[in-house]
Structure 1
Amino acid sequence: MQSKYKIRLLRANLITAAIVLALWTYTAQPVAALALWLSAGWLLVTALLLDFSHRRSKGLSWQMLTGVLLLSLIAAAPERHSFLIWAWPAMFMLPQNRWVATFNAFAALLSWLLIAPLLTLPEGLLLLAALITLGVLSSAKACQLIDINGSVRKRLRLIPGFNLWPSGQLLRDLSREQTRSEREAIYAELLIIQVKRHQLWSSAQKLCNLTHSFEHVYRLDNQTLAALMLSNNSKEATHRRTLLCAGLPEKQHTYHQPLMDIELSGLSVEALVQLPPQQREDKDD
């Protein structure tokens, strides 16, 4: 999985860039050296913590940190780091929230204002026009990536190596599993679990480990998980459910329902997330 998505190659590029920036500090002025060391450190930490996951948010603050570091490098020594201004168009190729894109646009303009005194008027205007053109093209590419990633996430596992799927997949699987359980006389039930927001992803991995490889786990929202569990009978399902919930965080709310009792007509993810109070099982030790 890592090779397929070129994570190792990306990590190697980040480490190489960190080394280059670190070597660059030997001939830099103190202020510029500080900015270079901060940038090198950020690249190195990013490379070490890098992993492939579909659950990365496009609005994380690290994107603004990247712009701050780039702007600080140019501001520390415009005459020395002026060529770094060409990195700004690449920044707009990243899917990002509107406020991050606005910040990057103002930072890129400020970078140009710092470099413009070093150029003649025609050169400065030509540089500005080139930056705007490349920025617009990069933003258009980012919009395409957002659309592509949105469609890909609907049919890919959320965490590589784990049988965790998005909520839309559950609605598609319910009908198929109902037909299969009826045809093969298998007891199937839908188990819904609500945990605290910060426990969602760790709970999802535990849930995937505790279920069989042919059973799917789904993320319904930021606090809710669901699992389609297959057993020989209801007694076995109850025993499995007890063991499964014991392996999850202590504070949780669960709800289970036989798959054959679920009315699929008009069913939505929002309806599944609303646990029926009269049937909810609380675990709060």
Structure 2
Amino acid sequence: MESKFKEGLYRLTLLLTASTVLLLALMPHSAPARVILVLSGLGMGSVGLGYRRLPALPDSAAPIFLAVLLTTLLWLTPEQHAMWLWGWAAVIAMPQPVLLLLLHSLLAASCLWQVMHLTDTTAESLLTGLLLVALLLLGLARQLGLSTLWRGVSSRTRLMEHLLLWSGAQLKIDLSLETTRCEREGSHGELLLLRSPSNCQPALAEALVASTRSYESCYQADGQTLAALLINRNAKEATLRRNTLLASLPSPFQARFITLAPALSLDTQMAALERQEKPVVVLEENK
């Protein structure tokens, strides 16, 4: 689940950046600059808060807000905000589509043109340009490293306007990682599969997300199957929690709980769920 931990750090960074921008809005600025600072700070904060249970703007909106902020300030008052030019390296480093990356590179070049006339000599202008290009290249290298994370975040399934679920492909990745982690830490992990008619999926998904813990993830494995990786201290706690969770889910559904083990096959268990006749099946050990 490394990608989720990285996403959490990314969102924390967005919230800290948004807070800083809003604090800067309290300092002496022209009215247009103050407005753009407030709007950009609120926009980045909205993206940073968007996780699982909260409505959110697309993740690619974060670099857009920061780019609009830098472009506006550097075009309106370059003398006062020349140091903000270096913020373009952060914009380029953020996860974003290729076309947006190209647009932001052009905007960075336009801002550099606005600032270059403030330098006293051609040599200083050239040095400023070279330093910015170097920082943009470093940001680009970082952005390429984050591209996998961005694709993973973008691949989440939206069943309801305020509800995001991870994909079945991500479940296969997380299943192996969580099995290894549970063995290493001595915790008790379970894979929960829930099958229901397609028209019942939104209500069931909402109840499932509400019943899981903040460090647990929910998935849409296919059109009729939801899934969750449940982590508990031991088997006794898992049993108690299992009963509570089942009581909170709206019918109709079929549930299958499988203890995490190296031999666990997601495809095999999903096929078994399709043939399952009992409403609930619990497999304490997967063999």
Instruction: Specify the TM-score bucket, using the shorter chain as the normaliser.
Output: 0.5 to 0.7
Report the TM-score when normalising by structure 1.
0.56
The alignment of Structure 1 onto Structure 2 pairs a total of residues equal to 234
Name the CA distance, whole Å, in 2 between partners of 1:66 and 1:115: 18
Larger gyration radius, structure 1 or structure 2: 1
Contact kept in structure 1, 2:218 and 2:228, CA below 8 Å: yes
User: Deviation at 1:107?
Assistant: 1.0
1:183 aligns to what?
Answer: none
Deviations 1:190-228 (A, max 9, x none): 53257789879744432326xxx9xx7642459753147
Distance 1:125 1:268, change over 3 A: farther
Contact kept in structure 1, 2:74 and 2:111, CA below 8 Å: yes
User: Deviation at 1:69?
Assistant: 1.8
1:191 aligns to what?
Answer: 193
Q: Secondary structure in 1 aligned to 2:193?
A: strand
The range that moved more, 75-84 or 8-17, is 8-17
Name the CA distance, whole Å, in 2 between partners of 1:137 and 1:110: 19
User: Deviation at 1:60?
Assistant: 2.5
Distance 1:6 1:190, change over 3 A: closer
Distance 1:174 1:126, change over 3 A: closer
Amino acid in the other structure paired with 1:226 = A
Describe how 1:1-285 pairs up with structure 2 within 5 A: 14-25=18-29, 28=30, 33-43=31-41, 46-47=44-45, 50-51=48-49, 59-119=59-119, 120-145=121-146, 167=171, 168-170=173-175, 190-193=192-195, 202-208=206-212, 218-220=218-220, 225-227=226-228, 243-246=247-250, 254-257=253-256, 267-268=266-267, 272=270, 276=274
Contact kept in structure 1, 2:85 and 2:112, CA below 8 Å: yes
Name the CA distance, whole Å, in 1 between partners of 2:272 and 2:117: 61
Name the CA distance, whole Å, in 2 between partners of 1:51 and 1:135: 27
User: Deviation at 1:111?
Assistant: 0.8
User: Deviation at 1:169?
Assistant: 3.3
Percentage of matched positions with identical amino acids:
18
Name the CA distance, whole Å, in 2 between partners of 1:13 and 1:108: 19
Contact kept in structure 1, 2:44 and 2:65, CA below 8 Å: no
Name the CA distance, whole Å, in 2 between partners of 1:117 and 1:101: 26
Deviations 1:73-106 (A, max 9, x none): 1111223322221111122232333233222111
Distance 1:61 1:173, change over 3 A: closer
| Unaligned 5+ runs, structure 2 | 153-165, 183-189, 280-287
Task: Note the aligned Cα RMSD (angstroms).
Answer: 5.5
| Unaligned 5+ runs, structure 1 | 152-163, 178-187
Name the CA distance, whole Å, in 2 between partners of 1:24 and 1:240: 55
Contact kept in structure 2, 1:74 and 1:81, CA below 8 Å: yes
Contact kept in structure 2, 1:191 and 1:254, CA below 8 Å: no
Contact kept in structure 1, 2:205 and 2:226, CA below 8 Å: no
